[in-house]
């Protein structure tokens, strides 16, 4: 290949395509979003919203990854990945730009709906299953956004400051485990800076850490427009600049090579990786079964919605209830931005509940994007007064949760809070169903009998919630992030946006539940919280550590009168040592198990030495502390169900 041909393939040609090398029969690469469904541009469609130049082809709109995380289900994550891979291949997409795995450091993160969790083990085990699913269909993934893109605040320039131990134990941990478990085809370099340098130009991030410590062998692509100087980015380790060449990058590279500013061998390294990518990941075309896609989206949604509170209100057993809220008819089932999907078809909660119970009394309650209406609240009270129960569906206005900006508050809108208050004043059995991408404050929690986190549940959201509210299916989801009582209780509240250009992660490793546990701060609902219509008991826990692996066995029984799925969550409490504080507990493994009425299953976990280690910033490596480790299974109400100690010398 000539220098010009080599340069051609390391810079994008169009928004979603690289160049090929026609002379050598090397086809161009087609890359497109997104994590919860194909956003594949349809040049014949009008612009659909403010994020997309053109509309997209129809595709399955899966639940956002915030819900996938709440399933704690590696099997469904893989299934979702497989379906995504088939649909990508159908549209000729070689690389799917997902999953986003950034750590949920603050509950106001604008793209939290697109990410998994506040825990790196949960994020990385599910993301690995998802990637293995997609890539099993010959389509590559792009693990994003590497790294430190935990908020949208000044995202194109902010310099994130993360200490060494926090970086390894939290912010790189997901990337490291995913690369080891699923070998993603590409990693997407984030917009922001680390140690003052843009991630897409950052030798420390891309070579020392990603290629060195994390042993990544695939291709590094930039986020769209994240390269500010193509020569610097190539030197830093960025193989492919996306999107198209609007910074005259190709000429800069050609001149730099011809003038000897950079050795051609550096260009060759990236070209070889890109040619290998081109060889290994090829869309096969073929048909995609979008009805199967709907079914996978439905199963995922059912497995990830979380029952937060239930004092006898659920399941609904007869038509003694009414439904209130615009979101019951027009559900909010995805977030805004590059992840937005033109859904194959959608179901809404009201229609699906009526399919089960017949005509349901309904009141609109509020209107999206309009102020509170006294008239609509009065009408909702009148409907609720005549019912034994009121199911209120709540969703924010348009663009409340959107790429490119963080949320300003965790509070619901006044029109929602007033509606809940007024309806609760005339009805004793109110259930609030939240269609949000993440945490909200719940000042009404003590006034209502039920709360469900429905999340952005994808195109099948209506059918899923109807099956769960009616008891046709049982809730099994558990929270992948903590719900604080107030935003101010979160450790990032005091550090957020103190400076425009720098974001210092001062809370260190004590993020999410690690922070609330350590400081004994009460929360509304803790990480891992999630009720079921049945109950489970744990017994016979045995642990043994040998040959660098901890094997833990336990039995779990469905002690209730309904089938259900239990998510076993195994935590470890590492030995404390002066000068090197460990979190009170850390999730180390999880498994979802279906259990019939009265059924008992034995589950075995194998925990690697790495997952028991901590980062010693004196020796600059992961180490296994000698001492006593406490292992506990926490149940659905965040209570210790069973525990044992193990000594590692
Ligand atoms: C964006 C996003 C990234 C997306 C890319 C292409 O700005 O940060 O997640 O994949 O552009 O749309």
Q: Which residues line ligand 1 (CB under 6 A)?
A: 33, 97, 144-145, 223-224, 338
Question: Per-residue pLDDT averaged across 35-47, rounded?
Answer: 89
pLDDT computed for residue 44 by the predictor = 85
Pairing mode, strands 58-59 and 342-343: parallel
Question: Per-residue pLDDT averaged across 349-367, rounded?
Answer: 98
Chain segment 273-289, per-residue pLDDT in tens: 999 999 999 999 989 99
Pairing mode, strands 429-434 and 219-222: unpaired
Spacing, Cα 188 to ligand 1 middle (Å): 9
Spacing, Cα 215 to ligand 1 middle (Å): 24
- In our burial notation (b when 16+ CB lie closer than 10 A, e otherwise), range 240-277 reads bbbbbbeeebbebbbebbeeeeeeeebbeebbebbbeb
**Best residue among 29, 34, 97 to mutate for probing ligand 1, ranked by most atoms within 8 Å of CB:** 97
Chain segment 118-169, per-residue pLDDT in tens: 999 999 999 999 999 999 999 999 999 999 999 999 999 999 999 999 999 9
**Helices 120-135 & 74-90, crossing angle to 10 degrees?**
40
Spacing, Cα 107 to ligand 1 middle (Å): 21
Question: Per-residue pLDDT averaged across 446-467, rounded?
Answer: 98
Binning the chain into helix, strand and coil, the percentages to the nearest 5 are 30, 25, 45
Nearest to residue 512, comparing CAs of 180, 191, 166, 177? 166
* All residues at 6 or more sequence positions from 363 whose CB lies less than 8 Å from its CB, including other chains: 322, 323, 324, 376, 379, 380, 382, 383, 384
Spacing, Cα 141 to ligand 1 middle (Å): 13
Instruction: Return the biggest CA–CA distance within the chain.
Output: 82
Dig out the tokens for 276 from the structure. Answer: 């290998």
User: What DSSP letter does each residue of 510-565 carry, written as one string?
Assistant: --THHHHHHTT--EEE-TT--B-SS-EEEEEEEEEEETTEEEEEEEEEE-SSS-EE
Which residue, judged by its Cα, is nearest atom 1 of ligand 1? Answer: 224
Tell me the pLDDT band of 52, cut-offs 50, 70 and 90.
low
Question: Per-residue pLDDT averaged across 88-97, rounded?
Answer: 98
pLDDT computed for residue 48 by the predictor = 62
CA distance readout (Å), 137 to 30, 83, 133, 455? 15, 9, 7, 28
What is the Cα Rg of the chain in Å?
25
Tell me 454's DSSP state.
-
Question: Per-residue pLDDT averaged across 253-281, rounded?
Answer: 98
> For residues 423 and 388, what is the distance between their CA atoms, to the nearest angstrom?
12
Residue 454 has pLDDT above 80, yes or no: yes
Residues in a beta bridge with 607: 550
> For residues 638 and 649, what is the distance between their CA atoms, to the nearest angstrom?
30
Find out whether 114 and 335 touch, Cβ atoms under 8 Å. Answer: yes
The DSSP H or E segment spanning 92 is none
> For residues 160 and 200, what is the distance between their CA atoms, to the nearest angstrom?
14
pLDDT computed for residue 51 by the predictor = 64
Ligand 1 atom closest to the CA of 190, numbered from 1: 8
**Best residue among 145, 223, 242 to mutate for probing ligand 1, ranked by most atoms within 8 Å of CB:** 223
Which residue, judged by its Cα, is nearest atom 4 of ligand 1? Answer: 338
Dig out the tokens for 344 from the structure. Answer: 């194959």
Residue 53 has pLDDT above 80, yes or no: no
Ligand 1 atom closest to the CA of 98, numbered from 1: 10
pLDDT computed for residue 50 by the predictor = 64
Lowest mean pLDDT segment, chosen from 122-131, 227-236, 494-503: 494-503
Query: Quick check: helix, strand or coil at residue 638?
Result: coil
**Best residue among 403, 404, 405, 406 to mutate for probing ligand 1, ranked by most atoms within 8 Å of CB:** 403
Spacing, Cα 9 to ligand 1 middle (Å): 20
Number of C-alpha atoms within 13 angstroms, CB side, residue 50? 7
Chain segment 289-325, per-residue pLDDT in tens: 999 999 999 999 999 999 999 999 999 999 999 999 9
Residue 631 has pLDDT above 70, yes or no: yes
Question: Per-residue pLDDT averaged across 190-201, rounded?
Answer: 98
pLDDT computed for residue 34 by the predictor = 94
Question: Per-residue pLDDT averaged across 51-66, rounded?
Answer: 89
Pairing mode, strands 140-146 and 186-189: parallel
Q: Determine what percent of the chain is predicted with pLDDT higher than 90.
A: 96
Specify the higher pLDDT residue, 50 or 539: 539
pLDDT computed for residue 175 by the predictor = 98
Ligand 1 atom closest to the CA of 155, numbered from 1: 8
> For residues 389 and 314, what is the distance between their CA atoms, to the nearest angstrom?
10
Ligand 1 atom closest to the CA of 97, numbered from 1: 10
Spacing, Cα 329 to ligand 1 middle (Å): 30
Question: Per-residue pLDDT averaged across 626-649, rounded?
Answer: 96
Ligand 1 atom closest to the CA of 224, numbered from 1: 11
CA distance readout (Å), 385 to 321, 375, 415, 429? 10, 15, 19, 11
Other beta carbons within 10 angstroms of residue 478's beta carbon come to 30
Q: Determine what percent of the chain is predicted with pLDDT higher than 70.
A: 99
Residue 515 has pLDDT above 80, yes or no: yes
Which residue, judged by its Cα, is nearest atom 12 of ligand 1? Answer: 338
Ligand 1 atom closest to the CA of 145, numbered from 1: 9
Tell me 209's DSSP state.
I
Q: Which of 8, 33, 159, 223 is catalytic?
A: 223
611 among known catalytic residues: no
Question: Per-residue pLDDT averaged across 55-77, rounded?
Answer: 97
Peptide bond just before 243 cis, omega within 30 deg: yes
Which residue, judged by its Cα, is nearest atom 6 of ligand 1? Answer: 224
**Best residue among 31, 187, 226, 338 to mutate for probing ligand 1, ranked by most atoms within 8 Å of CB:** 338
> For residues 556 and 96, what is the distance between their CA atoms, to the nearest angstrom?
38
Residue 562 burial by Cβ neighbours in a 10 Å radius (0-12, 13-18, 19+): middle
> For residues 377 and 372, what is the distance between their CA atoms, to the nearest angstrom?
8
Mean pLDDT of the chain: 97
Residue 113 burial by Cβ neighbours in a 10 Å radius (0-12, 13-18, 19+): buried
As a whole number of Å, the end-to-end CA separation of the chain is 56
Ligand 1 atom closest to the CA of 191, numbered from 1: 8
Spacing, Cα 347 to ligand 1 middle (Å): 28
Dig out the tokens for 605 from the structure. Answer: 């976990």
Spacing, Cα 176 to ligand 1 middle (Å): 21
* All residues at 6 or more sequence positions from 518 whose CB lies less than 8 Å from its CB, including other chains: 510, 581, 583, 584
Which residue, judged by its Cα, is nearest atom 7 of ligand 1? Answer: 224
The counts of H helices and E strands in the chain are 18, 31
Q: What are phi and psi of 62, to 5 degrees?
A: -80, 165
Ligand 1 atom closest to the CA of 33, numbered from 1: 10
**Best residue among 33, 36, 146, 405 to mutate for probing ligand 1, ranked by most atoms within 8 Å of CB:** 33
Residue 532 has pLDDT above 90, yes or no: yes
Spacing, Cα 140 to ligand 1 middle (Å): 16
pLDDT computed for residue 46 by the predictor = 77
Question: Per-residue pLDDT averaged across 174-194, rounded?
Answer: 98
Tell me 123's DSSP state.
H
Spacing, Cα 440 to ligand 1 middle (Å): 25
Ligand 1 atom closest to the CA of 144, numbered from 1: 9
pLDDT computed for residue 495 by the predictor = 83
Which residue, judged by its Cα, is nearest atom 11 of ligand 1? Answer: 224
User: What DSSP letter does each residue of 5-16 carry, written as one string?
Assistant: HHHHHTEEEETT
pLDDT computed for residue 497 by the predictor = 79
* Cα dihedral 18→21→22→25 (10° resolution): -110
Chain segment 587-616, per-residue pLDDT in tens: 999 999 999 999 999 999 999 999 999 999
> For residues 31 and 140, what is the distance between their CA atoms, to the nearest angstrom?
9
Residues in a beta bridge with 546: 549
Tell me the pLDDT band of 18, cut-offs 50, 70 and 90.
very high
Which residue, judged by its Cα, is nearest atom 8 of ligand 1? Answer: 223
Spacing, Cα 338 to ligand 1 middle (Å): 6
pLDDT computed for residue 54 by the predictor = 75
């Amino acid at each position: 290949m000539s220098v010009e041909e080599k340069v051609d393939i390391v810079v994008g040609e169009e928004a979603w395509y690289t160049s090929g090398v026609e002379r050598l029969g090397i086809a161009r690469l087609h890359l497109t979003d997104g994590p919860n469904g194909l956003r594949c541009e349809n040049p014949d469609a009008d612009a659909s919203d403010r994020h997309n130049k053109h509309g997209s082809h129809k595709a399955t709109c899966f639940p956002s990854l915030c819900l996938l995380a709440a399933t704690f289900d590696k099997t469904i994550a893989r299934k979702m990945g497989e379906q995504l891979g088939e649909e990508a291949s159908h549209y000729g997409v070689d690389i799917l730009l997902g999953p986003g795995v950034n750590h949920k450091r603050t509950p106001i993160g604008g793209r939290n709906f697109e990410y998994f969790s506040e825990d790196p083990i949960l994020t990385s085990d599910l993301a690995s299953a998802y990637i293995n699913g997609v890539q099993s269909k010959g389509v590559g993934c792009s693990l994003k956004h590497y790294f430190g893109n935990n908020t949208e605040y000044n995202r194109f320039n902010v310099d994130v400051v993360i200490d060494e131990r926090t970086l390894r134990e939290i912010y790189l941990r997901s990337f490291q485990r995913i690369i080891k478990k699923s070998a993603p085809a590409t990693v997407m370099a984030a917009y922001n800076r680390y140690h003052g340098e843009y991630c897409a130009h950052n030798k420390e991030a891309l070579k020392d850490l990603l290629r060195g410590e994390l042993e990544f062998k695939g291709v590094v692509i930039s986020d769209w427009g994240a390269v500010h100087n193509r020569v610097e980015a190539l030197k830093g380790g960025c193989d492919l600049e996306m999107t198209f060449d609007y910074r005259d990058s190709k000429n800069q590279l050609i001149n730099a090579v011809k003038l000897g500013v950079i050795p051609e061998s550096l260009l060759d390294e990236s070209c070889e990786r890109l040619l290998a990518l081109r060889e290994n990941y090829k869309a096969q075309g073929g048909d995609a079964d979008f009805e199967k896609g709907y079914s996978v989206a439905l199963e995922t949604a059912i497995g990830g919605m979380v029952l937060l509170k239930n004092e006898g209100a659920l399941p609904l057993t007869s038509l003694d209830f009414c439904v209130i809220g615009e979101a019951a008819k027009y559900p909010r089932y995805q977030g805004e931005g590059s992840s937005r999907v033109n859904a194959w078809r959608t179901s809404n909660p009201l229609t699906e509940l009526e399919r089960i119970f017949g005509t349901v009394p309904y009141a609109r309650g509020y209107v999206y994007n309009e102020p509170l209406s006294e008239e609509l609240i009065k009408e909702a009270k009148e409907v609720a007064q005549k019912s034994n129960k009121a199911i209120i569906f709540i969703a924010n206005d348009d663009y409340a949760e959107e790429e490119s900006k963080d949320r300003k508050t965790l509070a619901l809108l006044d029109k929602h809070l007033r509606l809940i208050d007024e309806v609760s004043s005339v009805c004793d059995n109110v259930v609030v169903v939240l269609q949000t991408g993440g945490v909200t404050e719940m000042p009404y929690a003590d006034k209502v009998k039920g709360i469900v986190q429905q999340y952005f549940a994808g195109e099948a959201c209506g059918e899923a919630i109807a099956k769960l509210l009616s008891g046709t299916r049982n809730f099994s989801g558990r929270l992948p992030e903590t719900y604080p009582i107030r935003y101010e209780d979160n450790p990032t509240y005091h550090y957020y946006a103190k400076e425009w250009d720098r974001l210092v992660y001062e809370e260190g490793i004590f993020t999410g539940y690690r922070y609330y546990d350590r400081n004994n701060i009460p929360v509304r609902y803790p990480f891992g919280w999630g009720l079921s219509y049945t109950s489970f008991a744990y017994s016979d826990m045995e642990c043994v550590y040998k040959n660098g692996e901890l094997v833990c066995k336990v039995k779990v029984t469905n002690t209730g009168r309904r089938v259900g799925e239990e998510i076993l969550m195994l935590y470890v409490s590492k030995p404390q040592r002066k000068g090197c504080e460990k979190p009170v507990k850390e999730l180390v493994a999880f498994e979802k198990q279906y259990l019939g009425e009265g059924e008992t299953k034995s589950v075995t976990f194998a925990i690697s030495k790495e997952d028991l280690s901590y980062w010693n910033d004196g020796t600059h490596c992961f180490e296994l502390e000698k001492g006593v480790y406490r292992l506990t299974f926490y149940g659905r109400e965040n209570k210790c169900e069973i525990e044992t100690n193990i000594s590692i010398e």
